[in-house]
Amino acid sequence: MKQSTTLVTGGAGFLGSHLCDRLIDRGDEVICLDNFFTGQKDNIIHLMNNPKFELIRHDVTFPLYLEIDRIYNLACPASPVHYQHDPVQTTKTSVHGAINMLGLAKRTGARIFQASTSEVYGDPEQHPQSEEYWGHVNPIGIRSCYDEGKRCAETLFFDYHRQHQVEIKVARIFNTYGPRMHPSDGRVVSNFICQALRGEDITIFGDGLQTRSFCYVDDLVSAFVLLMDSNSEITGPINLGNPNEFTMLELAEKVLSIVGGSSKLIFKELPQDDPRQRQPDITKAKSMLNWEPSVQLDDGLSETVKYFRHLLG
């Protein structure tokens, strides 16, 4: 019998490579697609000799003709430094990428998962954020290429579902961290850990009292698979993240206590449109997927520090 084949776009990136591992572990045939804008071969090198794994270098903004059963659409740079590097390409990746992958899903009858984001809520006026909240997004700021691109992708997913009966699964992912984050992508967890390991100053943007809620990658990937496997009536959007909320000052203290060393905190200007607070309401994920994160920040940070310690040598 033919094994089910799953396409993972952005499969050589941070989340995508962990997802490929999980799918291979459970016996799926996996086609990993990536244009290597922010992804790295090192993230998937251990899978290259596996007969169930295949790698395609391709850009999702161009059409793709393959025969597949499921699509996880993760292709898109995720860190502000990377997605602001070429903002036009970021919007194209989200919007043209969604159109092409939805066209592929429509033609093949594949079920398709979209890696959406808490950024669709912008700088939220509702706290914590539930899926019913429509968001508070600047349409013309420096984060808009990402936020509005992801919002338009959600629109396309729901219109392909209503108009063409494509089976969709839309996840709104909140800040996630873990091994294989890119060391220079500027995200707060990788920045703080690399700075502490190198004995450099820890850069706090603004007063450091803004909050984020950090989910460990293994917990998140479990939710991806549960959502993809769930009943076809569950379309999302569904928040996935860890509701434990921390200030950036608290995060810096935790990183320093794990790494040790002599780094000092220095304060830098807060980037434009930087959300003040962010915390997922995961009531839906708990009830619909019977999922909740289990890895505590201290434990997840220790694993991530181990990874970066090895990487930075």
Cα–Cα distance, 199 to 14 (Å, whole number): 25
Residues 16, 32: contact at Cβ < 8 Å?
yes
Confirm or reject binding of residue 190 to ligand NAD (CB under 6 A): no
DSSP secondary structure letters along 36-95? -SS--GGGTGGGTT-TTEEEEE--TTS------SEEEE--S--SHHHHTTSHHHHHHHHH
Q: Is residue 78 close enough to count as binding ligand NAD by CB under 6 A? A: yes
Cβ distance to ligand NAD smaller for residue 24 or 263: 24
Residue 188 touches ligand UDP, criterion: CB under 6 A: yes
**Of 134-173, which residues contact ligand NAD (CB under 6 A)?**
173
Among 14, 53, 192, 308, binds ligand NAD (CB under 6 A): 14
* Distance between CA atoms of residues 248 and 260, nearest Å: 17
- What are phi and psi for residue 184, nearest 5 degrees? -115, 30
Decide: is 64 part of the binding site for ligand UDP (CB under 6 A).
Answer: yes
Structure tokens given for 42: 């090192």
Q: Which is nearer to ligand NAD, 121 or 160 (CB)?
A: 121
Given the rule CB under 6 A, which of 29-37, 135-143, 161-169, 243-251 is the region that contacts ligand NAD? 29-37
Q: Does 34 bind ligand NAD (CB under 6 A)?
A: yes
Residue with Cβ nearer ligand UDP (84 or 230): 84
Site for ligand NAD contains 19 (CB under 6 A): no
Angstrom distance (rounded) from CA 133 to CA 251: 27
- Determine if 153 is a binding residue for ligand UDP (CB under 6 A): no
Instruction: Determine, following the binding rule CB under 6 A, whether residue 279 of this chain makes contact with ligand UDP.
Output: no
State the binding partner of 114 from ligand UDP, ligand NAD, none, CB within 5 to 8 A by kind: none
Among 5, 6, 21, 38, binds ligand NAD (CB under 6 A): 38
d(CA 193, CA 171): 27
- At closest approach, how far in Å is the CB of 174 from ligand UDP? 8
With CB under 5 to 8 Å by kind, the binding choice for 104 among ligand UDP, ligand NAD, none is: ligand UDP
d(CA 150, CA 74): 11
Q: For residue 1, count CB atoms less than 10 angstroms from its CB and return exposed for 0-12, middle for 13-18, buried for 19 or more.
A: exposed
How far, in Å, CA of 160 to CA of 10, rounded?
A: 21
Comparing CA positions, the residue from 76, 111, 97 lying closest to residue 225 is 111
Exactly one of 72, 83, 121, 146 is catalytic; name it.
146
Q: Min. distance of Cβ 262 from ligand NAD in angstroms?
A: 29
224 binds ligand NAD (CB under 6 A): no
Let me know: does 262 contact 200? Beta carbons within 8 Å: no
* DSSP percent split of the chain into helix, strand, coil, nearest 5: 40, 20, 40
Q: What is the DSSP letter of 3?
A: P
308 and 177 in contact (C-beta within 8 Å)?
no
Count of positions on this chain that bind ligand NAD (CB under 6 A): 29
User: Which residues are designated catalytic?
Assistant: 146
Note the residues at the interface with ligand NAD (CB under 6 A).
9-10, 12-16, 34-39, 59-61, 74-78, 93, 97, 115, 117, 173, 175-176, 182
Note the residues at the interface with ligand UDP (CB under 6 A).
63-65, 79-80, 99-100, 103-104, 106-107, 175, 186-188, 191, 203-205, 210, 212, 248, 270-271, 274
